[in-house]
Structure 1
Amino acid sequence: MGVPLVLALCGPLVAGGAGPRAASFTLGDGHWLGTDFVGRDVWRQVLLGGRPVVVVALTATALAYLVALPLGLIGALTHRTWLEETLMRPLDVLLAVPSLLMILLVASVFSPGATGLALLVALVNIPDAARIVRAAAADVAARPAVEALRMQGESWWRIAVGHVGRSILRPLAADAGVRLTGVLYLVATAAFLGIGVAPDAADWAVMVDRNRTGLFVQPWAVVVPALLIVALTMGCNLLCDAALRGAPLRKGPRS
C-alpha cells in the first residue's frame, strides 16, 4: 500500500515539467517506461495520476460516513418508530439501485468534475454505511448500560457518541477498510468510463482505458497504473484486517 500512496502524494512534487512528446506507444528514447497513446512520458503520468484517485476516494469515504454515522445512530437509539422508518426506508430504496448505474444516470444529465464525482460516490455509499452503523449500534443500544445512562439524564450526544459510538469502533473500522476498497473501485471505474475526468487526464484509471489499444505494443502504460490501483485497494483492505487482528477488544463502560 505504501508504494501507490507515496506515488500519489509525492509524485506531483517530483514529476517535473512536461518534455517534448515522442511517438505514441514507443519504448526507450529517454522514456524508461515508454510513452502513452499521445506520446507523453508514462513515468511522469504515473507520478501525476495517483493523487486524483486517492483524494477522490478518501473524500468520498469520509463524506459517506459523515452522513451515515448520525443517520445510523439516530435510527438505533430512537424510540420513535416513525422516525426510524422515515430515516431508513428511503435508504433501502437507494440500495436497490446499483451504484455504478446511479453514477451513470446522474453523469448522463450532469457533467461532474472531481468534486462532483466524490459527492456521487459518497451518495451511493451512504445507504449501506448507515445500515451497518445502525445494525452495530442497535446491539449496544439494547444493553442495560444505555438505559441506565438515559435514566441518569445523560444527553443524547454523550450516549450516542461517548458510549455507543465508542463501542462500535471495531465493526466500523472493519467496514471502513472494505468500503474504501469499494470506493476506489467505483472511482477508478468512473474514471475509466470518462466520468469526472478529462479524456486525456493524468489519472491511473484513465491511463488504463486510453492506453489499452496499445497493450501488446507498449504494455507498461497499462500494466503499471493497473497494478498500482490493485496494490492500493488490496493493501488498504489487508492493512485494516491486520490492524483489527492486532487491536485488543475494547470493553464499554460497565452497566
Structure 2
Amino acid sequence: MKTARGYLLPVTLFAVPLLLALIGPFFASGDTTKDVPFDANGRLGTDFVGRDVWNEVLLGGRSLILVAVAATICTYVVAVPIGLIAGMTRSRGLDEVLMRPLDLLLAVPSMLMLLLLVSIAPQSVWLLVGVVALINLPDVIRISRAAALSLSARPAVEAMRLQGESRIRIGLGYVARSMRRTLAADVGTRFTGATYLIASASFLGVGISPQASDWAAMVDRNRGGLFVQPWAVVVPALLLVMMAVGANLVFDRMLRGTAR
C-alpha cells in the first residue's frame, strides 16, 4: 500500500499530459473560427490570433511527445550497441575509432547543432527526431561504454571466456542485461532533455510548421499577452513541466523498487 502511494504523484504528473497529448486530438474541435485575440472568455480564453486555447491544448501535445519518444528510442538503439562494443573490445584502436568522433559532437553546443542541421533542410518531423537523437548520442554512448567496461572486468565474464563462450553471447547474455539498471536510470533524464530540446526548437520556430499546434510554440507565441490572458502561456508551460518532472520521478521510483 505504501509503495502504491509512492507511485501516485509521479504517475499522475506524467499521465495527465501524456493522456492529454494522446487522446486530446480526438476531442478537439475542427472549427478554425477565430475570435478576439487574448480574450478571457471561454474555458481558457483565446490566443494571440483569437484561436480557442483549450482546443490548441488538446491538439498541441501529440507531436511533442511522439518526437521526444522517437528520438529517445533512436538514441538508445544506436548508442547502446556502440557503447557495448567499445566497452568490451580489447583493441585500443577500435575503441579510439568509436569514441573520438564523439568528442567533435560534444564540442558543438546542442542548440547550435540543432539550428545548423535543421536550418539547412526543409522542416520535417523525422529530421527533428534524427537531430535530437544525434545530439544525445555521445552522452548515451559514453554511459554505455563506462557500464560495459565495469561489467566486462568482472570475474564472471572472465569465467565465461575461459569456458569458451562467444563474445556475442557474453555481451548480449550478461553484459547488456546487467547494464539495464544503469540505462534505466538514464532514460528519464534523456527523455526530459529531448523534450526540452524539442521545446526549444519550437520556441525558435524550427522543426515544426509555423501553423502547427504545439505546447512549446504556444508558450512562445502567446508570451506577449501573459498579463492579459495568462492561460495561453501557463497551461502549456505547466503541462511541459509536469511531463518532464513526472517522467524522472516515475523512473526513479521504478529503480528504487527493483533495488529492494
TM-score bracket for the superposition, by shorter chain length: over 0.9
The answer for the alignment partner of 1:6 in structure 2 is: 19
Cα distance in 2, alignment partners of residues 91 and 227 from structure 1: 34
Q: 2:208 aligns with which of 181, 193, 197?
A: 197
The answer for the alignment partner of 1:103 in structure 2 is: 114
Asked whether the 8 Å contact 1:53–1:184 carries over to 2, the reply is: yes
The answer for the alignment partner of 1:137 in structure 2 is: 148
The answer for the alignment partner of 1:154 in structure 2 is: 165
Cα distance in 1, alignment partners of residues 31 and 79 from structure 2: 42
Cα distance in 1, alignment partners of residues 194 and 230 from structure 2: 26
Cα distance in 2, alignment partners of residues 40 and 68 from structure 1: 42
Cα distance, 1:19 vs. partner? 4.7
Cα distance in 2, alignment partners of residues 56 and 103 from structure 1: 14
* 2:65 counterpart letter in structure 1: V
Residues 142-185 of structure 1 deviation map (CA, whole Å, 9 limit, x = unaligned): 11211222232323322112100111111110111111111111
* 1:2 counterpart letter in structure 2: A
Asked whether the 8 Å contact 2:44–2:53 carries over to 1, the reply is: yes
* 2:95 counterpart letter in structure 1: E
* 2:40 counterpart letter in structure 1: L
Residues 89-123 of structure 1 deviation map (CA, whole Å, 9 limit, x = unaligned): 11122111111111011123223311111100000
Larger relative contact order (C-alpha < 8 A, sep ≥ 6)?
2
Cα distance in 2, alignment partners of residues 11 and 155 from structure 1: 49
Asked whether the 8 Å contact 1:57–1:184 carries over to 2, the reply is: yes
Residues 14-40 of structure 1 deviation map (CA, whole Å, 9 limit, x = unaligned): 113125221111121xx3101111111
The answer for the alignment partner of 1:230 in structure 2 is: 241
The answer for the alignment partner of 1:16 in structure 2 is: 29
Cα distance in 2, alignment partners of residues 228 and 68 from structure 1: 29
Asked whether the 8 Å contact 2:75–2:137 carries over to 1, the reply is: yes
The answer for the alignment partner of 1:118 in structure 2 is: 129
Q: Does 1:49 align with 2:66?
A: no
Runs of 4+ in 1 over 3 A off after TM superposition: none
Cα distance in 2, alignment partners of residues 112 and 165 from structure 1: 36
Gaps in structure 2 of 5+ consecutive residues = 1-13
Asked whether the 8 Å contact 1:46–1:204 carries over to 2, the reply is: yes
Q: 1:79 aligns with which of 74, 83, 90?
A: 90
Cα distance in 1, alignment partners of residues 73 and 182 from structure 2: 16
Gaps in structure 1 of 5+ consecutive residues = 250-255
CA RMSD of aligned residues (A): 1.2
* 1:43 counterpart letter in structure 2: W
Residues 172-209 of structure 1 deviation map (CA, whole Å, 9 limit, x = unaligned): 10111111111111011011111111223100011011
Q: For 1:85, what is the secondary structure of its paired residue?
A: helix
Asked whether the 8 Å contact 2:119–2:206 carries over to 1, the reply is: no
What is the count of residue pairs matched by the alignment? 247
* 2:210 counterpart letter in structure 1: P
TM-score, scaled to structure 2: 0.92
Cα distance in 1, alignment partners of residues 163 and 103 from structure 2: 35
Q: For 2:259, what is the secondary structure of its paired residue?
A: coil
The answer for the alignment partner of 2:105 in structure 1 is: 94
Asked whether the 8 Å contact 2:123–2:209 carries over to 1, the reply is: no
* 1:3 counterpart letter in structure 2: V
Q: Does 1:216 align with 2:216?
A: no
Asked whether the 8 Å contact 1:111–1:195 carries over to 2, the reply is: no
Cα distance in 2, alignment partners of residues 104 and 167 from structure 1: 37
The answer for the alignment partner of 2:73 in structure 1 is: 62
Cα distance in 2, alignment partners of residues 118 and 20 from structure 1: 32
The answer for the alignment partner of 1:206 in structure 2 is: 217
TM-score, scaled to structure 1: 0.94
